[in-house]
Amino acid sequence: GAVVSQHPSWVICKSGTSVKIECRSLDFQATTMFWYRQFPKQSLMLMATSNEGSKATYEQGVEKDKFLINHASLTLSTLTVTSAHPEDSSFYICSASAGRGGEKLFFGSGTQLSVL
Amino acid sequence: RKEVEQDPGPFNVPEGATVAFNCTYSNSASQSFFWYRQDCRKEPKLLMSVYSSGNEDGRFTAQLNRASQYISLLIRDSKLSDSATYLCVVNGLDSNYQLIWGAGTKLIIKP
């Protein structure tokens, strides 16, 4: 099946630093990628939808200036958490769409971010 | 009311037993439904889609009740490896193929 690679798997950083997370589709072209955040014992929350070559669409309540998304190619999307604070500590997951619907959605392995 | 609601559990079930849990959704116009499985701090993995007529995949059976707006997942002959969090997912109707995720039901299979 399709593979989505997400790096890094975990990161610990000091408050105020920026962290970049990469999401790559390895064997297919993903015109659309999604970024989710998951706090402990909570559901996956969609943060933004990223379309190749255009600006990301952010969900209500997600600060676009804090969570910078770049989707420069059909196989790579990045999420940068700028000036991270402890409340940004969470599990971030990307997914790439190979077609319409949940059956063609492939997930990265997630990034656990801990901000000290 | 949340768009997708699940009993968080945990459901503690002995190995070999049958377990079932439901998920309710609020948007009556929803068209696609899925069950995902998520292990701790791992990415969710598609377990099965849920079709209107109900569908079965080995020990797993999924059903949809549109009138009452819920879907169910039944696991027969449960295995230790079935221990995980099961996420109910409903596809919205917007052009971004947005998925609405339940918070998950935690299942613990005990020997």
Of the candidates B27, B28, B37, the residue with the CA atom closest to the CA atom of residue B85: B37
Determine the average pLDDT of the residues in B86-98.
74
Which of B41, B89, B96 lies at the smallest CB-CB distance from A49?
B96
Adjacent-strand bridge partners of B89: B34, B101
Q: Pick the residue from chain A with its C-alpha nearest to B85.
A: A41
Residues of chain B with C-beta less than 8 angstroms from the C-beta of A93: 43-44
Q: Is residue A88 classed as helix, strand or coil in its secondary structure? A: helix
Q: Please give the pLDDT value at position A22.
A: 96
The pLDDT-based confidence of B63 (bands split at 50, 70, 90) is very high
pLDDT of residue A90: 95
Q: Do B49 and A91 touch (CB under 8 A)?
A: no
Contacts of B86 (CB under 8 A, 6+ apart): B6, B21, B35, B36, B37, B38, B47, B73, B104, B105, B107
- The nearest alpha carbon in chain A to B99 belongs to A102
Q: Residue A11's pLDDT is what?
A: 95
Residue B101 to residue A45, Cβ atoms within 8 A: yes
Query: Which residues in chain A are closer than 8 Å to B96, comparing Cβ atoms?
Result: 32, 49, 57
pLDDT value of residue A102: 53
pLDDT tens per residue across span A1-58: 668 999 999 999 999 999 999 999 998 888 789 999 999 888 889 999 888 878 899 9
A7, A37, A44, best to mutate vs chain B, most B CBs in 10 Å: A44
Among A57-61, B14-18, B57-61, where is mean pLDDT lowest? A57-61
How high is the pLDDT of residue B20?
96
Which of B23, B36, B38, B43 to mutate: most A Cβ within 10 Å? B43
Separation of alpha carbons A62 and A68, rounded Å: 10
DSSP B45-57: EEEEEE-TT-EEE
Rounded CA separation B47/B109 (Å): 17
Which distant-in-sequence residues (6+ apart) come within 8 Å of A95 by Cβ? A4, A33, A34, A36, A105, A106, A107, A108
Of A37, A107, B2, A90, residue with least CA distance to A48: A37
Split at pLDDT 50, 70, 90, the class of A99 is: low
pLDDT given for residue B108 in this prediction: 97
Q: CA A6 to CA A9: how far, in whole Å? A: 7
Closest C-alpha among B56, B10, B13 to residue B35: B56
* Residue B2 predicted with pLDDT over 80: no
Segment B31-58 shows an average pLDDT of 91
Q: HSE on the CB side for B67, CA within 13 Å?
A: 0
Output the DSSP codes for A7-71. Answer: E-SEEEE-TT--EEEEEEESSS--SEEEEEEE-TTS--EEEEEEETTSPPEEPTT--TTTEEEEE
Closest CA to B99 of B6, B34, B19: B34
Residue pair A102/B89 in contact (Cβ under 8 Å)? The answer is yes
